[in-house]
C-alpha cells in the first residue's frame, strides 16, 4: 500500500501545485482548509515552500535552488532585498535580529518568516533575475552539488557544463519530478573533493584510466550515500569508470531506475542508500549496463588520497574549505568569507552583492560549508576589498572555531528538530574563541550542529558533531545534545563515534573545551584533530570529555525542552496572522 504522501502526489504535484498555491495566497491563510493543510503543505514543498512548525501557523520558509552554488550578478542582491522586505517575523532572534538569509549545506539559500500572501510577489522579484525555488523541496532531486569554483579554479575534469546539463535535462524534467524521496546528486571535477560525493545518492568523482594505451580523464561512480536517521552510509563504488561525455546519461539512468523501482511505501527506509542496500552494487551496475548504450569500463584510479575538503588533513595538504583568498585560473582571485552558522543579515547580503559588483564580476558562489565567495577579483582590487568593514565582520581569516562551524535550522522553525541550533552555536563559538586556545598550526576545528537525527547540519562528518536531544536537569526538561568525535570526508570517510549523550546544553561548552584542551596538550606535532582522535582511542576521549557548566556562557533557551512557539519567547504565539502580520482572532 502506497504511503499517504504518494496519494497526495497522485492527486496533484509538481508544477501544477504552483497555481493552487497562488490561489491560496490571493485568498489568504484561512482559505487553506484546516483538515487539508497537511496535504497542501506536503505539496507546497516542491516549490520550495515549507510551513513553519507548530505555533508559527501562517508563516513559511522558502528554499531556493542554484545548481552548484552559483549566484549570477544581481541575484544575491534580489535575495537580500526580499529578506529585507518580506522575511521579518513577530519576534527577534537574540543573536541575529530580524530579517536575514540562511546559507545551506547544499550550496543554496533559505528565507524565513514569509507570509503566504507575499509568496507570488516574492517569486516575481526573484524570477526576474533568474532565481527559482522550483524542486527545492519535497520528493525531488534537490540542489545539485559541485565544486563552488568549478570553471574558475583548477579542475582535473571540467564539471560546470555537466552540472548545468544535469540541471536542464534531468532535474527540470517533469517526468522525474515525483521521486520516492528526496534525491541528492553531486559532481566533483577537482582533486579536493568539494562536492562530498561520499554522502550523496549518486556522486561522480574525478578519476583517470589507461584505455588502449592512453590516459583517459573521467569519473568513477558512487551511489547510496547519506547521513540521516543515525544510519549513515558512505556512497558505494559501482566499479564503473565513465568518460565526461557519458556523465549526464549515467546520472539519468540511475535517477530513472530509482524513480521506477524505489520504495514508495515505507518512507523511513526508502532513501537511495536503502535502495542500494536492498539491490546491491552488482545488480545496480548490471541494471545501468542494460539501460546505457556505451561499453562499460571498470573503475579508474581516483584522487581520494588527495581529497582535503573536510578530510581531516593538515591545511598544508590543501584547502579544507573555500574561506580565504585563492587564485583563479585566469589570474584573478576569489575571496571566501566566513559566515558563522550560515546566517547573514539582509543588509549584509545586499552589501556583499555590492562588493561583488565593485571589486569583482558581481558573481557570488556558495560552498557546502555555508559560506559565500566573491568571484573574479583582480589583484589590483584585492587589498581594498579586504579592507571593507563587511570583511571584518565576516572575515576570510576567522578563528579556528568559527571557520569550522556549521548548523542546521533547529527548533527555531523546523518541526523535526529537538533543539535550537544557530543562536546556541553562535554563542558557543564566541565563548570558545574567547576562552580556549588552540595550537598556532591548527586553523580549523570542525563543529557541526544538527537539531535532530535527520542530520541536515552534517554532524556525522565533523571533528566534533552535535545532535539535538532532550534531557532532565534539576528535575526540569531541558534542551540537550549528543556529542561525538572523529568524522570526516576524504580517502576513508568516517562517521563520528558518540562520546556523551543527552548532555544539557549549558554543559556543552565545558565538555568541548575539555576535549579541545586535551587535544592541544596531548597531540603530536602537526597532528590534526581527526588524526588525534584515531590515535587516542575512544575510551580515553570519553574520560576526557567531562560536561560541566562554565562562567561566561549563558544558554539562549536551555529551558525550552517542551518547545514554546519560538525558542526565545515565553509568551503566547501570535500565529496565525493575516497578510499584514496581525494576529487572526480564533473567533473570526
Q: Nine-digit cell at 294?
A: 556505451
Catalytic residue among 63, 368, 470, 500: 63
Catalytic residue among 151, 312, 324, 451: 451
For 453, which DSSP code?
T
β pairing state of 236-242 and 214-223: antiparallel
Q: How far is CA 136 from CA 16, 48, 279, 474, 538, in A?
A: 15, 5, 28, 42, 39
Catalytic residue among 182, 269, 393, 502: 182
Centre a 10 Å sphere on the Cβ of residue 299 and count the other Cβ atoms it contains.
17
Cβ neighbours of residue 45 under 8 Å, at least 6 residues apart?
Answer: 137, 138
β pairing state of 185-187 and 202-211: parallel
* 310 Rama class: left (phi>0) / alpha (psi -120 to 50) / beta: left
Catalytic residue among 89, 99, 457, 486: 457
* Listed residue (95, 128, 133, 142) closest to 114, CA to CA: 133
Stretch (H or E) spanning 353:
helix 346-359
Q: From the centroid of its chain, how far is CA 561?
A: 25
Instruction: List beta partners, residue 51.
Output: 60
Q: Which ranges constitute the DSSP H helices of 103-183? A: 119-127, 160-166
β pairing state of 301-302 and 49-51: unpaired
Residues in the chain: 588
Query: Is 181 tagged catalytic?
Result: yes
Stretch (H or E) spanning 473:
strand 464-473
Query: Is 342 tagged catalytic?
Result: no
* 480 Rama class: left (phi>0) / alpha (psi -120 to 50) / beta: beta
Contact 168, 141 (CB under 8 A): no
* Helices 75-86 + 119-127 axis angle, to 10: 160
Query: Is 451 tagged catalytic?
Result: yes
Three-state secondary-structure class, residue 508: helix
Q: What is the distance in angstroms between the CA of the first residue and the CA of the last residue of the chain?
A: 40
Alpha-carbon distance of 184 to 51, in angstroms, equals: 22
Alpha-carbon distance of 200 to 273, in angstroms, equals: 9
Catalytic residue among 67, 147, 414, 456: 456
Contact 460, 399 (CB under 8 A): no
Sign of CA dihedral 162, 163, 165, 169: positive
Stretch (H or E) spanning 103:
strand 100-103
Query: Is 182 tagged catalytic?
Result: yes
Catalytic residues: 63, 181-182, 451, 456-457
Amino acid at each position: 500500500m502506497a504511503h499517504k504522501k504518494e496519494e497526495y502526489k497522485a492527486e496533484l504535484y509538481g508544477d501544477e501545485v504552483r497555481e493552487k498555491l497562488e490561489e491560496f495566497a490571493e485568498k489568504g491563510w484561512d482559505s487553506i482548509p484546516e483538515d487539508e493543510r497537511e496535504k497542501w503543505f506536503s505539496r507546497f514543498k516542491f516549490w520550495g515552500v515549507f510551513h513553519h512548525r507548530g505555533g508559527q501557523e501562517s508563516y513559511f520558509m522558502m528554499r531556493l535552488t542554484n545548481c552548484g552554488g552559483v549566484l549570477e550578478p544581481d541575484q544575491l542582491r534580489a535575495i537580500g532585498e526580499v529578506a529585507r522586505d518580506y522575511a521579518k517575523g513577530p519576534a527577534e532572534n537574540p543573536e541575529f535580529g530580524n530579517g536575514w538569509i540562511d546559507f545551506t549545506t547544499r550550496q543554496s539559500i533559505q528565507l524565513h518568516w514569509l507570509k503566504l500572501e507575499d509568496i507570488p510577489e516574492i517569486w516575481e522579484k526573484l524570477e526576474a533575475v533568474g532565481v527559482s525555488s522550483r524542486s527545492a523541496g519535497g520528493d525531488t532531486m534537490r540542489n545539485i552539488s559541485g565544486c563552488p569554483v568549478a570553471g574558475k579554479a583548477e579542475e582535473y575534469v571540467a564539471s560546470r557544463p555537466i552540472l548545468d546539463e544535469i540541471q536542464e535535462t534531468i532535474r527540470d524534467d517533469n517526468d522525474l519530478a515525483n521521486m520516492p524521496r528526496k534525491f541528492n546528486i553531486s559532481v566533483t571535477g577537482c582533486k579536493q573533493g568539494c562536492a562530498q560525493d561520499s554522502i550523496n545518492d549518486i556522486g561522480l568523482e574525478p578519476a583517470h584510466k589507461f584505455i588502449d594505451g592512453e590516459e583517459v580523464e573521467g569519473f568513477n561512480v558512487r551511489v547510496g550515500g547519506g547521513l540521516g536517521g543515525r544510519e549513515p552510509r558512505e556512497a558505494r563504488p559501482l566499479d564503473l569508470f565513465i568518460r565526461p561525455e557519458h556523465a549526464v546519461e549515467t546520472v539519468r539512468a540511475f535517477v530513472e531506475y530509482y524513480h521506477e523501482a524505489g520504495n514508495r511505501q515505507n518512507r523511513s527506509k526508502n532513501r537511495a542508500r536503502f535502495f542500494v542496500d536492498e539491490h546491491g552494487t552488482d545488480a545496480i551496475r548490471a541494471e545501468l549496463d542494460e539501460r546505457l548504450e556505451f561499453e562499460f569500463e571498470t573503475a579508474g584510479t581516483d584522487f581520494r588520497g588527495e581529497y582535503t575538503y573536510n578530510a581531516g588533513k593538515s591545511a598544508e595538504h590543501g584547502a579544507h574549505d573555500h574561506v580565504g583568498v585563492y587564485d583563479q585560473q585566469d589570474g584573478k582571485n576569489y575571496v571566501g568569507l566566513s559566515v558563522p552558522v550560515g546566517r547573514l543579515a539582509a543588509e549584509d547580503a545586499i552589501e556583499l552583492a555590492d562588493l561583488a559588483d565593485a571589486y569583482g564580476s558581481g558573481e557570488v558562489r556558495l560552498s557546502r560549508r555555508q559560506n559565500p565567495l566573491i568571484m573574479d577579483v583582480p589583484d589590483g582590487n584585492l587589498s581594498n576589498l579586504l579592507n571593507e568593514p563587511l570583511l571584518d565582520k565576516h572575515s576570510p581569516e576567522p578563528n579556528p572555531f568559527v571557520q569550522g562551524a556549521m548548523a542546521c535550522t533547529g527548533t527555531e522553525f523546523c518541526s523535526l528538530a529537538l533543539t535550537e541550533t544557530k543562536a546556541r552555536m553562535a554563542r558557543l563559538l564566541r565563548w570558545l574563541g574567547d576562552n580556549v586556545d588552540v595550537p598556532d598550526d591548527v586553523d580549523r576545528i570542525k563543529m557541526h550542529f544538527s537539531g535532530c537525527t535527520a542530520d541536515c547540519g552534517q554532524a556525522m562528518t565533523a571533528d566534533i558533531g552535535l545532535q539535538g536531544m532532550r534531557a532532565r536537569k534539576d528535575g526540569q526538561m531541558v534542551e540537550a545534545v549528543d556529542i561525538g568525535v572523529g568524522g570526516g570526508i576524504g580517502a576513508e570517510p568516517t562517521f563520528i563515534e558518540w562520546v556523551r549523550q543527552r548532555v544539557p546544553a549549558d554543559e556543552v561548552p565545558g565538555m568541548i573545551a575539555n576535549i579541545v584542551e586535551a587535544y592541544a596538550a596531548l597531540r603530536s606535532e602537526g597532528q590534526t584533530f581527526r588524526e588525534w582522535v584515531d590515535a587516542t582511542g575512544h575510551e580515553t576521549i570519553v574520560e576526557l570529555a567531562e560536561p560541566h557548566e562554565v562562567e561566561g556562557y549563558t544558554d539562549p533557551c536551555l529551558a525550552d525542552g517542551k518547545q514554546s512557539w519560538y525558542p526565545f519567547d515565553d509568551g503566547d504565539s501570535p500565529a496565525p496572522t493575516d497578510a499584514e502580520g496581525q494576529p487572526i482572532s480564533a473567533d473570526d
